[in-house]
Structure 1
C-alpha cells in the first residue's frame, strides 16, 4: 500500500532553477512519483513569471516551499546595525515571495551567512540572530507561513551545527512558531547518533530532509536512509520530509561552486527522485506505523 507521507523534492535535483525550459516535465515527474511539494532554490522574483510558476505547481497538485538566505551586506547576525536591518529586510522579502507563491513554509538559512565560516559564532551574534529570526517567524505565522531553519555542518556555518544547538536557537528566539529543519547529510557529519538527534529536536522538528553521503541517490551511500525514516516514524515524527541531491551536470556553475559539488554524481534527476521515493517508502514499510497499516490493509481486504 502507498504510505500517507508528505514528501517534498528539492527542485535542484532535476533542474537548475525555476526558469528552466524543462520545468513543466520535471514537475510532471515529481507529481507522478508521489511528491506533494517542491522546494524552490532562492531566485530573483523579478526575473521569474510568478503567476506561471504558481500555476504550473497548482495544476499538478504540488505545493511550493520557498527558501530564505542572508548576504554579506544583509545579515541578522552582524554587529553593524545597518547590516542587521538589511538582513531582516531580506528575510521579509523572502517571506513576501513565499506568500506570493502560495507557500506555507519558508526553509533555508535565515540565521546568518552560508559558506566557509571565518570564525566561531559568538554568544552576542547568536542572540542577535535568534531574536531577529524569532520576530520574523512570528510575522510569518500571522501570514500563514511556517519559518523553518536548516541545521548545517561545520564547513558551511559555525552558528547551528547540531540538533542541540538548534533547540538552543529556538529557545533564544523567543518564538513559539520557529521550526527546525534537520538534514541527514549534515547530521552524518555532526551528530553521534542521528536517531537521538531527531528525538531531541522532535518538539520543533518541522522538516526532515534525506540526503545521502555523496549527495547522490538515496539508495546508495554511507547513510542508512530507510533506517532513519523508520526510526523517525517510530519516535513519533509526523512532519514533512524532504529529498535532496546535487550533481554538477544539473546545477548552474555558480550554484555547484557554492555547494562544493565538483562532480556529476548522477545524470538523471527524474530517476533519482523516483528512487528516493522508493527508499522513503521502504523505510515507512519497516516502521511500526507502516507495519500496522499493512496489517490493517490485509485484514480489510479479506
Structure 2
C-alpha cells in the first residue's frame, strides 16, 4: 500500500506558493501527495511535475463537480461543461505524470437536492462519465468514483452505489475511491464495503470520524486494514484530515482537531504505519 497525504492537510488552495508541500510530504516519508484540481487556473503542471521529479515523489489528483459542471443537471450545457472540465482535469493529471484521478465526479458536490435521484439522473451521470472515461483511456488515466455522505451528495453514498455507477458506465478504467469519514456515516461495515469493491479499489482516504487524528476516534481501523490485508491492496491511501482554517471553510472544520497540522500528520503516520505492519501491508 502506498501511503500519502492530501494537500488540504496543510492548505485550502493549491498554487505555486504551495509547491513546498511536495518537499514536506517527502520529508515525512510519504509515497505520494494528492493534489486538488478545484482551480485549474492556479494549477501549474510544469512546475508541479518538475518538483515531483526533483524530490522523487508520486502524485495523484482529485476534484468535485460544482453547480456549473453538474452531471445530474437538467441543462445539457451544464453537463457538457462538466465533461469538458473533467477532460481538462485528465490532461492536468497526465501532465504531472500521475495516473489516478478521483473524486465526487458524478454530481454537484453539496447539491441542494429535494428528492431522491431519478433513474434519469443516474443515466445522465453514467453517460457523462463514460465520455470522460473514454477520453482518459487515451492518457492512461484511471478514474475513481468516490462515494460521499448524504449531506454532500444525493447520488453515490455507498460502495454498493459506486459499483452500480461503475457498471452503468461500463468502461474498464472506471474504478472506486473509498473514504473512511463518509463510510463511517453511510456503511454498515467497513470490512464488507472494502471487500465489495475489491480489485476496483484504487484510492482510500484515511480519516477519523471527526477528520482528526486517525486512531483517536470510533472508526474501526482493524476492519479496514483486515480487508486491505486480505486483498493485498497495493494502491494509494491518503491521509485526509483537516486542521488549518481557510477562507472558504468548505472542509467544515469549526473547531481545533489537533494542536497543529504537523502533529496531526506525525501521529497519523505513526498509527497508519502500525496498522500496515499489523496486517502485512
User: Scaled by the length of structure 2, what TM-score is found?
Assistant: 0.92
* Residue 74 of structure 1: how far off its partner (Å): 2.0
**Contact 1:226–1:282 (8 Å) recurs in 2:** no
Alignment of 1:1-302 (within 5 A): 5-19=1-15, 21=17, 23-24=19-20, 26-119=21-114, 120-247=116-243, 250-254=244-248, 256=249, 258-287=250-279, 289=280
| Secondary structure, counterpart of 2:91 in structure 1 | helix
Q: What are the superposed Cα offsets for residues 9-31 of structure 1, whole Å, 9 maximum, x if unpaired?
A: 1001022333374641x333321
Of stretches 54-63 and 151-160 in structure 1, the one that deviates more from structure 2 is 54-63
Deviation at 1:267, TM superposition (A): 4.2
Tell me which structure has the larger Cα radius of gyration: 1
Q: Secondary structure at the match of 2:233?
A: coil
SS at match of 2:108: coil
* 4+ aligned runs moved over 6 Å, structure 1: none
| 1:116 positional shift | 4.8
Q: Cα RMSD (Å) of the superposition?
A: 1.9
Secondary structure in structure 2 of the residue aligned to 1:154: coil
Aligned to 2:199, what secondary structure does the other structure show? coil
Shift of 1:174: 1.4
**Displacement after TM superposition at 1:148 (Å):** 0.8
Deviation at 1:193, TM superposition (A): 0.7
Task: Tell me, in whole angstroms, the C-alpha distance in 2 between the residues paired with 1:22 and 1:182.
Answer: 26
- Structure 2 unaligned segments of length 5 or more: list them: none
Q: Matched residue pairs, number?
A: 280
Decide whether the 8 Å contact of 2:5 with 2:239 is kept in 1: yes
Offset from partner CA, 1:34-54 (integer Å, 9 cap, x none): 211111123433334432222
For the residue of structure 2 that corresponds to 1:228, the secondary structure is helix
Relative to its length, the structure with more strand (as a share) is 2
Describe the shift of the 1:72–1:17 C-alpha distance in structure 2 as closer, same or farther (beyond 3 A): closer
Shift of 1:100: 2.2
CA shift at 1:170, angstroms? 0.6
Partner of 2:122: helix, strand, or coil? helix
Once residues 160 and 40 of structure 2 are traced to their aligned partners in structure 1, the CA distance between those partners, rounded to angstroms, is 35
- Range with bigger deviation, 8-17 or 36-45: 36-45
Pairwise CA distance, 1:235: 3.7
In 1, Cα distance between the equivalents of 2:189 and 2:68? Answer: 36
Measured after TM superposition, the shift of residue 196 of structure 1 is 0.4
Find the aligned partners of 2:72 and 2:166 in 1 and give their Cα distance. Answer: 15
Instruction: Say which SS state the counterpart of residue 69 (structure 1) adopts.
Output: strand
Alpha-carbon separation, structure 2, partners of 1:230 and 1:243: 18
Cα deviation for residue 151 of structure 1 reads: 0.7
Q: CA deviation at 1:65?
A: 1.4
Closer, same or farther in 2 for the Cα pair 1:209/1:48, shift >3 Å?
A: closer
For residues 44 and 233 of structure 2, the distance between their equivalents in structure 1, rounded to whole angstroms, comes to: 36
Deviations 1:184-235 (A, max 9, x none): 1100101111100001111311112111011111131111335422332124
